[in-house]
Copies of this chain bind each other. A is one copy, B any other.
Amino acid sequence: MKLHDFRVSGFLFAGISAGIKKNGRKDLGLIYSEVPSQVAGIFTTNAVKAAPVRVGMERIKRGVGQAVIINSGNANACTGKQGLKDARKISSWVARGLGIDEKLILPASTGVIGVPLPLRKIEDSVPELIQSLSPDGWMNAVEAIMTTDAFPKIAMAACRLKGKKVKLCGMVKGAGMIRPNMATMLSFLVTDANIKASLLQKMLTKAAEVSYNSITVDGDTSTNDTVLLFANGTSGHPQLTHMDRDGEAFQSMLSRVCQNLAKSVVKDGEGATKLVEILIMGAKNREDAKKAAYAIAHSPLVKTAFFGEDANWGRILCALGHSGARILPNRVDLYFNKFPIVKDGMGMGGRFEEEAGKVLKEKSFRVTVDLHQGKGTYLLFTTDLSFEYIKINASYRS
């Protein structure tokens, strides 16, 4: 991918250092649509919501937006009424600089919890930020939203809608959603497609279900998680207002882009050495399949066994057993990639265990469980649990 690939008609991007991060890296980003844009959003389900999330949830109801202002280095979470005031103030400065209505600005923050934003630094930097907006500013914006990320995470795709070529570019930050203090997941997507906000919201929700909502590193949901999708319509095709064949084409592209972004977050999971796909099949229903998948993905015993490349299927059965999903232990089949290791709840032993065990030496593999209870399936992406995870998270603040 070349930088040029991340131009999207009508969008400008910027990212600069405002001195919020102590290390002098970029920490203030701006994404701006030159025309008012349809917008859809998904926000954290954590009951403790950061101030910018609360402001964003309120503003997005209108379905129209024109810019997102993001700071890293400070989450503006657990900051009370002052936090809300601060989030609104920042968007008012950006609105004034851009000459647009403040209500068209969506704020987002990521970083340390419980510390007031350094407002003065941000106010002083807004003019420079707006000054540096450019169609080629994509990577600057990406850098500005990064915190513990080991690498920038971006994806793009194109398709045709009603005869016009449309483009979709996305960025995400987060290393496994595992650091509420610093590594919220933020994702911003922009497209020049023309899609009505209500339909756009349905599409984003559907895409998130198979991407951002299907990854887990350690089960924590941050106070700041936010996904925003802007569709400014500058490609010029007639507006999509309901799901049709063109809608399906866009949905498919959107889901794929989101899934790629989400997988890159898992890959960057703190201390992760393995990318593991957990596929549950034959559950009573989807809800049961989900419970089973999460029980496996969240079991520290299973995760450490992955890290140790130990084909310890007993731990997986044990996790299934307390997942709450309906199972008959003597009906469970288990596979590592294509290799069977458990049949009817019992280990196949010998050669089978050896073959399946080899799979765990790979960097990425799939664990498939067939419960033989019904037609429910669920696919979840997760990681192992390593020494590095403990190291990073034990010494994070000090």
A residues touching B (Cβ–Cβ < 8 Å)?
A: 45-49, 75, 77-80, 112-115, 178-181, 218-223, 298-301, 304-305, 307-310, 312-315, 317-322, 327, 329-330, 342, 344-347, 385-387, 389-391, 393-398
In the complex, the answer to whether A300 meets B345 with C-beta atoms within 8 Å is no
Contact A181:B307 (CB < 8 A) given known A220-B301, A321-B223, A345-B78: no
Per assembly, the copies of the chain total: 2
In the complex, the answer to whether B310 meets A397 with C-beta atoms within 8 Å is yes
In the complex, the answer to whether A390 meets B390 with C-beta atoms within 8 Å is yes
In the complex, the answer to whether A179 meets B301 with C-beta atoms within 8 Å is yes
Nearest B residue to A315 by beta-carbon distance? B180
Name the B residues within 8 Å of A222 (CB-CB).
318
Which of A178, A307, A314, A387 neighbours the largest number of chain B CB atoms within 10 Å of its CB? A314
In the complex, the answer to whether B300 meets A220 with C-beta atoms within 8 Å is yes
Nearest B residue to A353 by beta-carbon distance? B114
Assembly CA distance A220 to B305 (angstroms): 14
Name the B residues within 8 Å of A79 (CB-CB).
346
Whole-angstrom distance between the Cβ of A161 and the nearest chain B Cβ: 37
Name the B residues within 8 Å of A178 (CB-CB).
300-301
Name the B residues within 8 Å of A115 (CB-CB).
347
In the complex, the answer to whether B318 meets A113 with C-beta atoms within 8 Å is yes
> Which of B78, B307, B329, B346 is within 8 Å of A329, CB to CB?
B78
Assembly CA distance A322 to B47 (angstroms): 6
Whole-angstrom distance between the Cβ of A316 and the nearest chain B Cβ: 10
> Which of B223, B310, B314, B317 is within 8 Å of A318, CB to CB?
B223
Whole-angstrom distance between the Cβ of A143 and the nearest chain B Cβ: 24
Nearest B residue to A323 by beta-carbon distance? B47
Question: 14 interchain pairs (CB within 8 A)?
Answer: A48-B317, A78-B346, A80-B346, A112-B314, A179-B301, A219-B300, A221-B318, A221-B321, A223-B321, A304-B393, A308-B395, A385-B390, A387-B390, A387-B391
Nearest B residue to A327 by beta-carbon distance? B47
In the complex, the answer to whether A320 meets B179 with C-beta atoms within 8 Å is no
A-B contact sample (18 more), CB < 8 A, given A178-B300, A223-B317: A47-B322, A49-B321, A49-B329, A78-B346, A80-B345, A114-B346, A180-B314, A181-B314, A218-B301, A220-B300, A221-B318, A223-B318, A298-B298, A300-B300, A300-B393, A308-B394, A386-B394, A387-B390
Name the B residues within 8 Å of A298 (CB-CB).
219, 298
In the complex, the answer to whether A45 meets B312 with C-beta atoms within 8 Å is no
Name the B residues within 8 Å of A320 (CB-CB).
47-48
Whole-angstrom distance between the Cβ of A283 and the nearest chain B Cβ: 13
In the complex, the answer to whether B393 meets A301 with C-beta atoms within 8 Å is yes
Nearest B residue to A384 by beta-carbon distance? B394
Assembly CA distance A7 to B170 (angstroms): 70
Nearest B residue to A349 by beta-carbon distance? B114
Nearest B residue to A221 by beta-carbon distance? B322
In the complex, the answer to whether A329 meets B390 with C-beta atoms within 8 Å is no
Name the B residues within 8 Å of A317 (CB-CB).
48, 78, 113, 223
In the complex, the answer to whether A48 meets B307 with C-beta atoms within 8 Å is no
> Which of B75, B310, B319 is within 8 Å of A398, CB to CB?
B310
Assembly CA distance A389 to B389 (angstroms): 12
Assembly CA distance A49 to B80 (angstroms): 48
In the complex, the answer to whether A77 meets B393 with C-beta atoms within 8 Å is no
